[in-house]
A and B are shown apart, each in its own frame.
Chain A
Amino acid sequence: MTAVTYLEAISQAIREEMRRDESVFLLGEDVGTYGGAFKVSAGFLEEFGPERVIDTPMSETAIIGSAVGAALMGMRPIAEMQYIDFITCGFDQIVNMACKMYWRSGIPLPLVIRGPAGGGTHGGPFHSASPEAWFFHTPGIKVVMPATTYDAKGLLKAAIRDNNPVLYLEHKLLYRLPELREELPSEDYVVPLGKAIIRRRGRHITMLTYGAMVHQCLKAAEQLATEDGLEVEVVDLRSLTPLDRETIKESVKRTNKVLIVHEDTLTGGVGAELAALLAEELFDYLDGPIMRVAAPDAPYPYAPPLEMAYLPGVERIVAVARQLAAY
């Protein structure tokens, strides 16, 4: 068995689900002949044919809208956004059409919208998006973001099998990262939606994070352990909706200090909701302020020095964790 990349895990998940269930199909720009801008669907057209691997016009509203129509018919479409930034061009189909469908009509909508998210690849303001907060705020859609190769496959399989709209965010910086290569189980498995995982155990501080920031937090935790003797617990949320409140609260009750880290901008981000949840429910357990490390409230920049200054990284996480530890 060979170790596969995060991207290959995504590809495997879709391929295996398409083999397993004839109602699963893929549509998006350049997903067929070209195999997708990042080659997630390389070889799919040959295996599944043009009716299940559909090269669409450059029309995000038509892509997501027809995924909604197909899901109404009981199919399980996977709509690819070439970069997740373009999801805004199909926003209404998600927030008004898809998210309210079951709630108001009783008709389930089993559909997945997925695409490359996140920065660190010199993508500039229009190819580096972290759009999760918009959808995290919107009832009726599940939002997941895998940090590891194992989760990339298992969460996507769970998303495809779910009977609701699911936004599956792939961090493109992780796509081919050698450190993330993993041997995956040969048997079928899923990672259930709504279950966080503790990536590193510790008793002094809980870091709540997801996506590529999981790896920054793990590096920071390692540094804090060697340099400061601090035992940091790193919780990878994996799913933002549904949110695993139990795992979050259980961890914070043990550590009594929380640092929230995300790549998305600060104000109104996922971290703001996590902070509110903890302030409301665990006030008595907190031995310090709930702190956040996030991107500044500005659009995502292009030039490398600006991008470096913008993205949360180990250095900032370590600095803020030290402040919190000293509190």
Chain B
Amino acid sequence: MSEAERADLLLQIYYYMRLTRAMEDRTRTLFLQGRIVGGVYTAQGHEATTVGAAMTLRDGDCIVPQHRDLGMHLVRGVSPRAVMCQWLARGNAPTLGRDGQLHIGDMHHGVVPMISMLGESLPVACGVALVMKMRRRSTVVLASCGDGATSTGAFHEALNFASVQRLPVVFVIENNGYAYSTPTAKQFAIEQLAQRAVAYGMPGESVDGNDVLAVMEAVGRAVAHARSGQGPALVECRTFRVRGHSEADKADYVSPALRQEWLTRDPIKRFEEYLTAQGLLSAERRREIEARVRSVVDDAVAFAEASPPPDPATVADYVFAPDGPIAIVGEPGATDPRYVNALDTRTGRPFCTMSQVEEAVTRL
């Protein structure tokens, strides 16, 4: 990588981190204004982990993100408009208003839709990776979960199955100190969650989840391991949930001193300082990036607000998929409209989770 390419890459990372934060800040404002239908989960402080982890992937790879992984979605090309349509429960949201939050996905672009039952996405990640292995691909699946979700049976079944089958999966644990009000001391009795890897016979490491370059290095190593056919790997990213579990949670069970300590380690501030010290982020460049971020967020909110609500007459529609051929995702021709999984057959239109051409503006 040339010096100029490296500079571009670092600024791209910075942009995604800023965009993630700004999208969530705006979502919070909308929530406080009573414009969001249900609960809101944000991830201030997770940006180095979510953006850094996703930056290690390539075309054809797949993410299996959870509720605090907006950064992963944005890096992989999920549309800010689609995200805002989800929060505002619009009829043209990827789930047509049937589900909210970040419960969205599009297999042709490698995003598996999560469900609220945390941990349950991990076995599904194994199935995606199983197909990659069967089809002799050199692609990988990056699946995340929180410290709380590591206590589910699904987590343990998935790690074990992935290891036995030598599946190309990277498990990223976002250890943010809490699962709702439950601190990690009540969640597990080991020193570091990376130790879980030992029990399943896969490499595991623990990394400073607020240092985006360190996250990229560690997850990059795990991805390389999985891509080389040696099986799964695990990375624990140590970060902190500096806000409440949801925006309705004041989190007064967290000591102010602890929260303050982590606020001073804010991943975006740290990366900014690094970039500035490297001479890569001039005041002017920073203003440009902020302007871009703002325009993308404004556009997403405006688009969502102008979008129609779902049609109540459709409430019981599309419980079952229609008959017809199904393509194996990722094979040549798999997006040919004759396949039932090529288009969103509920609407007859392409899946709308990913950024459309008109919003290519979301890339720096």
Contact = CB atoms under 8 A, between A and B. Distances in A.
Interface in B305-336: 318-324, 326-330, 334
Nearest to A64: B123
B160 A62 contact: yes
Contacts of A104: 95-96, 98-99, 103, 113
A61 B123 contact: yes
B123 A69 contact: yes
Nearest to B352: A106
Nearest to B161: A62
Contacts of A110: 321, 326
B115 to A, nearest CB: 5
A66 interface: yes
A43 interface: no
B78 interface: no
Binding site secondary structure of chain B: loop
Contacts of B95: 104-105
Contact of A70 (B128, B318, B319, B341): B128
Contacts of B104: 105
Nearest to A67: B127
Contact of A93 (B99, B103, B123): B123
Contacts of A103: 98, 318-319
B214 interface: no
B355 interface: no
Contacts of B346: 102, 106
Contacts of A72: 107, 112, 124, 127-128, 329
Given A59-B161, A72-B128, A105-B95, A92 B326 contact: no
A9 interface: no
B326 A65 contact: no
10 contacts: A54-B130, A65-B158, A70-B128, A73-B127, A73-B131, A92-B120, A96-B116, A97-B117, A104-B98, A107-B341
A51 B136 CA distance: 11
A25 B130 CA distance: 11
Given A59-B160, A103-B318, A108 B105 contact: no
Nearest to A106: B344
A56 B157 CA distance: 11
B124 A59 contact: no
A62 B157 contact: yes
B322 A97 contact: no
Given A93-B120, A96-B120, A140-B320, A65 B113 contact: no
A61 to B, nearest CB: 5
Interface string A109-151: 1100000000000000000000000000001101000000000
Contacts of B98: 103-104
A23 B134 CA distance: 10
Given A59-B157, A97-B120, A102-B318, A69 B131 contact: yes
B124 A66 contact: yes
Interface residues of A, number: 45
Contacts of B255: none
A292 B328 CA distance: 46
Interface string A202-242: 00000000000000000000000000000000000000000
Interface in A142-199: 142, 162-164
Contacts of A296: none
A105 to B, nearest CB: 5
A254 interface: no
A164 B158 contact: no
Contacts of A56: 161
B347 interface: yes
Given A57-B161, A108-B326, A51 B134 contact: yes
A69 B126 contact: yes
B237 interface: no
Contacts of A54: 130, 165
Contacts of B322: 163
Interface string B127-139: 1111101100000
Nearest to B346: A106
B125 interface: yes
A74 B161 contact: no
Contact of B124 (A57, A69, A162): A69
Contacts of A74: 107, 326-329, 334, 339, 341
